[in-house]
Structure 1
């Protein structure tokens, strides 16, 4: 195949794309849930096997991006600090940094299994300013790669998905199917806020973190992309629900399997942690419309809310116990620690907890090491709503799409997404310690298969 992450990318043009409609400068306050996110950038990219002539494709992308930034105007702004040292969004339509590039490579030869070599800083841009950066890379085969990098403090995966779909719809002159809502009052704290020390186990004020010490070695985290066949996912679900146990979801079954693999690591730690990202949109009640004299209440639905609505519950268990447990028992443990975070009260309480600690910033506990003997940790964020097939700019659906999140910390990050084949297979992006990836490729080799151009039919 002659794969490679080794190829050159040259920049043909740099632009700044602003919203087509004028936006009066104004401030958009961060919600309390936004304030839980550190300044992290997240990447996402889509590969198209064929496109229109490159110049025509780029013209369509730029024009539709400018139009999409009108309803999604926070992406054209920039983050600044207020007088309390907290981040706020200045909606000033500074625009999005846009790069038109050329890669001296054919899509079928790009080694997507090793995205650190083939995607990082090549097909997904490094964001330097603003909230969003976009790069369109033309390939020798006539294909295109569209890569985006966005500030996680402004948007979670659900929000960027809304934007990407709207952007593609605009490019095809379609009506936007889901307009964003920036109604921060939906996530206002209660008056007075309710203090619950439970959240001290999930989130930590930065002032409580221990200073960096030499016994916390900075081991490198590495990115890989795999695929899992539908039959293997179904088998996992069957095994996690074996012998009369409650039927667990495919995602919970997958997380249980991954947790058991990580527990196999012989690194001197007795325990290991597993975190799960929970989206609170479906948990929070919608606005009490009886108190609103508005005819169109859809714009106030949490389904349209743009921002972060996330919590990260986690569990910690003895590695020896995890190795011996049946998959069904590990799935039960995950259900037990995730369950309490799937309620409206959990998110209302979390909003209150942040309010009572402001302006002190905080971080998810799973991302920290408070003690010398704490084991390693991994966080799983489900990307099952990743709308790859909907990101059609007028020349066809992508042949592949994935998130790319080499976030720089010491906690692993895993996102399973549906395959574009629509056959039940999963694509799994992993950014983990090398020792954990080694276990994935040995203990889990029957499940995790390296992503190849032949699988993707490039």
Structure 2
């Protein structure tokens, strides 16, 4: 019957390197200033299929071969994924687009999909279904399961692109697999996020980002407890209730995501760990904020191909708020939602991202990092960052045999700041899937204080 739960055996059947199907002339692609804010981090995604097509005995078009062929074709327009990151003479990372290829692993797991414990992804997914990237920019693994199930896992270098960029690639890859035209061709035009000349200095960014050289050396008192990953689901009715509560008593109607963030912040504040404050950060995508200004400045007939919606790279900022834990516990959800809105809204402008690009330019080649990811003082409270995964294209990742039965990001990034990403459920009923990478004490609070909202992911919920 095979293994069950978190532990099962996995064997590698074949390793390959998949290069772009079309020749790519070696060239350099610089990182944008916004790319340079990302440290070397890898982010994973995985998609589970209960059944993949069983080819005829004389057929060579197996699911694995189809995935490999379409990957080679997708790497032609998305050629940076077939390259590698190297340092330039200034010590900054750059992309060498040399078509070295993508490491591809074909594996077999002695387990049925219904028996994989996705609620504990550190045990069941990490380095099993989502591969460790040892080199290059992207690693792909296709794992065949007992009873015809299939899992596709990918690990990307976050410095190359954000979640929006990864989603763009995944959608195009599956469109190619189904012999359809690519709906969104990538643009690597770095001029769309160039600094102004001369760049403008604004010290407001000193509170959000910090040069690495100004950080104190690691100290022994800093916590070393590893963060733990869990996957939950939230029913649509509970999301609606959070939104209703955050907009209570005449307060402005807040978005579902903002209401969720406020609720999570209140839960984290319940932690009796001796810290007086706790921080909440929110990842903001700047594409929509930079869109109009690029249209205005381009006197071209066809500006569509230069749209920020096609831009491939990182276009992120991470504003955050810090509040007294005791006060957070006593505040109404609507009041906490108002606090979240106040620290997020200044980052949701074109000027914020233009200023951030300039700030990086004025500090280069000194690397910088988002301040919420740093913990420099013994009295610093715990911090959590929420990144919206509502654009996660789980319904679109159809290679020709149907959409996934489940999909999720997987981002055990290794720092001490928690990371949370809510995504739409493949059920298409308004439910959310929530990936959490938090300290165990915070997960305990999620499962006690938030137990009516956060439900541990189970095979029965997914329909396995």
TM-score by length of 1: 0.98
Aligned residues: 458
* Conserved 8 A contact 2:207-2:371: yes
Asked whether 1:25 is paired with 2:26, we answer: yes
- Taking the aligned partners of 2:14 and 2:414, their CA distance within structure 1 comes to 29
* Conserved 8 A contact 2:294-2:307: no
- Taking the aligned partners of 2:256 and 2:218, their CA distance within structure 1 comes to 38
Shift of 1:294: 4.2
Shift of 1:53: 2.5
In the other structure, the counterpart of 1:122 is 128
| 1:242-391 correspondence runs (5 A) | 242-286=248-292, 288=294, 292=298, 294-391=300-397
Structure 1: which 4+ aligned runs deviate by more than 3 Å?
A: 285-295
* Conserved 8 A contact 2:141-2:154: yes
Shift of 1:292: 5.0
Shift of 1:295: 3.8
SS of equivalent to 1:447: coil
- Taking the aligned partners of 1:117 and 1:449, their CA distance within structure 2 comes to 19
- Taking the aligned partners of 1:160 and 1:208, their CA distance within structure 2 comes to 32
Asked whether 1:103 is paired with 2:104, we answer: no
Greater shift in the superposed pair: 367-376 or 284-293:
284-293
* Conserved 8 A contact 1:382-1:415: yes
- Corresponding residue to 1:90 among 85, 91, 96: 96
| 1:41-60 correspondence runs (5 A) | 41-53=42-54, 56-60=62-66
- Taking the aligned partners of 1:399 and 1:296, their CA distance within structure 2 comes to 39
- Taking the aligned partners of 1:184 and 1:151, their CA distance within structure 2 comes to 18
Tell me the alpha carbon deviations over residues 242-262 of structure 1, each in whole angstroms, 9 at most, x when there is no partner.
000000000000000000000
- Corresponding residue to 1:220 among 217, 226, 229: 226
- Taking the aligned partners of 2:223 and 2:420, their CA distance within structure 1 comes to 22
In the other structure, the counterpart of 2:455 is 449
In the other structure, the counterpart of 2:58 is none
- Taking the aligned partners of 1:130 and 1:33, their CA distance within structure 2 comes to 20
- Taking the aligned partners of 2:326 and 2:124, their CA distance within structure 1 comes to 37
5+ residue gaps, structure 2, are: 56-60
- Taking the aligned partners of 2:359 and 2:414, their CA distance within structure 1 comes to 27
Shift of 1:19: 0.2
* Conserved 8 A contact 1:73-1:91: yes
In the other structure, the counterpart of 2:196 is 190
- Taking the aligned partners of 1:33 and 1:200, their CA distance within structure 2 comes to 15
* Conserved 8 A contact 2:192-2:294: no
- Taking the aligned partners of 2:296 and 2:208, their CA distance within structure 1 comes to 35
5+ residue gaps, structure 1, are: none
Tell me the alpha carbon deviations over residues 78-135 of structure 1, each in whole angstroms, 9 at most, x when there is no partner.
0000000000000000000000000000000000000000000000000001000000
In the other structure, the counterpart of 1:139 is 145
SS of equivalent to 2:408: strand
In the other structure, the counterpart of 2:17 is 16
Tell me the alpha carbon deviations over residues 138-185 of structure 1, each in whole angstroms, 9 at most, x when there is no partner.
000201000000000001000000000000000000000000000000
SS of equivalent to 1:112: coil
Asked whether 1:166 is paired with 2:165, we answer: no
Asked whether 1:394 is paired with 2:395, we answer: no
Asked whether 1:35 is paired with 2:36, we answer: yes
- Taking the aligned partners of 2:411 and 2:297, their CA distance within structure 1 comes to 41
- Corresponding residue to 1:81 among 77, 87, 112: 87
In the other structure, the counterpart of 1:403 is 409
Tell me the alpha carbon deviations over residues 45-88 of structure 1, each in whole angstroms, 9 at most, x when there is no partner.
00001101377000100000000000000000000000000000
CA RMSD of aligned residues (A): 1.3
- Taking the aligned partners of 2:119 and 2:334, their CA distance within structure 1 comes to 30
- Corresponding residue to 2:425 among 408, 419, 423: 419
- Corresponding residue to 1:69 among 62, 66, 75: 75
In the other structure, the counterpart of 1:7 is 8
* Conserved 8 A contact 1:287-1:300: no
- Taking the aligned partners of 2:153 and 2:457, their CA distance within structure 1 comes to 19
Asked whether 1:112 is paired with 2:118, we answer: yes
- Taking the aligned partners of 1:217 and 1:29, their CA distance within structure 2 comes to 36
SS of equivalent to 1:109: strand
TM-score by length of 2: 0.97
- Taking the aligned partners of 1:89 and 1:281, their CA distance within structure 2 comes to 22
* Conserved 8 A contact 1:186-1:287: no
- Taking the aligned partners of 1:217 and 1:184, their CA distance within structure 2 comes to 38
Shift of 1:433: 0.2
Shift of 1:370: 2.2
